[in-house]
Amino acid sequence: MMTENMERGITTMRICFYGAGSMAEAIARGLIHNKLVEPGQISMLNRSNEQRLTELHDRYGVQTVLQGTNNDTYLKEADIIFLAMKPKDAAEAIAAIAPLLHSKQLIVSVIAGLSIASMERLLGEEQPIVRTMPNTSSTIGLGATGISYSSKVTSSQRLISEAMFQSIGINAVVEESLQDSVVGVSGSGPAYVYLVMEAMLTAAEKLGFDPDTAKELVVQTVLGAAQMVKQTGESPEQLRRKVTSPNGTTQAAIETMTEAGLPEAIVKGMLRSSERAAEIGTVIERSIAE
């Protein structure tokens, strides 16, 4: 947990989001909701969607401005700059703002596939850079974020970074080489659960439930199972065995699912997600090197 002095340090900082998508909004919301930063100290820049900026200003009270419209001041004066643009726009956008920045500013990237080394090439090696991979559950404060640091990030900047991402869930500090693995586990992870839930909803309706009742039962079942793992401290395997009586209904279901290849398919899918993250990263790295 951050100290009182560290908390005071965050509250006095100016934060600029270069990009105003859903992840930028989630982080800004978390910072404001947890009273880490006052809304007026947050600025959000967007390339073309003025309506989106108006919505964010009205919803949270943050400062908003279109990119390229007198936004230099926000970037120059920010203590922390979040790089939250789309990966395809990242190289050009980062190169464009590089002349405005100085080495005391902390750069936090939420751009999938963009390495610290590439950001250093675009911004300069003296720039302290934090590479992160949050997931979509961050929008409701239940995210899981992988965090990696460049060598120039100070201990106090690490504390600040972790405090910011704790405002939208949990975080794990990992070696940068594991960032693609973070994508495979938690970055894409919510979609795996949704896919299982989709199948459960289909089965529930085939078993005679109307869609609303099916959804209520499935959502509560998944929520309860996740909370059991979290609150009891037992492993999923231990809890599964407790539910699975010999020759009972659960065993019949588990055997059928296993025979159909469900466990193996999940493992293969997660490994492929991580592999795909590396492929996308390679494309981004190549475009920057050219």
Predicted TM-score (pTM) of the model is 0.90
pLDDT at 164: 97
The whole-number mean pLDDT for each consecutive block of 10 residues of the chain, a chain of 290 residues, reads: 49 92 95 95 87 94 76 91 91 91 95 93 93 96 97 96 97 97 97 98 98 98 98 98 97 98 98 94 82
Q: Output the CA–CA distances (angstroms, integers) from residue 191 to 29, 173, 266, in the order listed.
A: 23, 23, 11
Sheet strands (E) in the chain: 15-18, 42-46, 63-66, 80-83, 106-109, 129-133, 143-149, 169-173
pLDDT at 70: 66
Given a contact cutoff of 8 angstroms between Cβ atoms, the answer to whether 251 and 245 are in contact is yes
| Mean pLDDT for all residues in the chain | 92
Backbone angles phi, psi at 149, to 5 degrees: -120, 145
pLDDT at 86: 87
pLDDT tens, position by position, 214-240: 999 999 999 999 999 999 999 999 999
Q: What is the rounded CA–CA span in Å between residue 114 and residue 87?
A: 8
Q: Output the CA–CA distances (angstroms, integers) from residue 97 to 50, 123, 187, 226, in the order listed.
A: 20, 8, 27, 42
pLDDT at 6: 46
Q: Enumerate residues 6+ apart whose C-beta is below 8 A from 75.
A: 16, 18, 45, 81, 97, 100, 101
Q: What is the rounded CA–CA span in Å between residue 144 and residue 165?
A: 9
pLDDT at 248: 97
pLDDT at 247: 96
To which residue do tokens 């794990």 refer?
A: 172
Given a contact cutoff of 8 angstroms between Cβ atoms, the answer to whether 120 and 3 are in contact is no
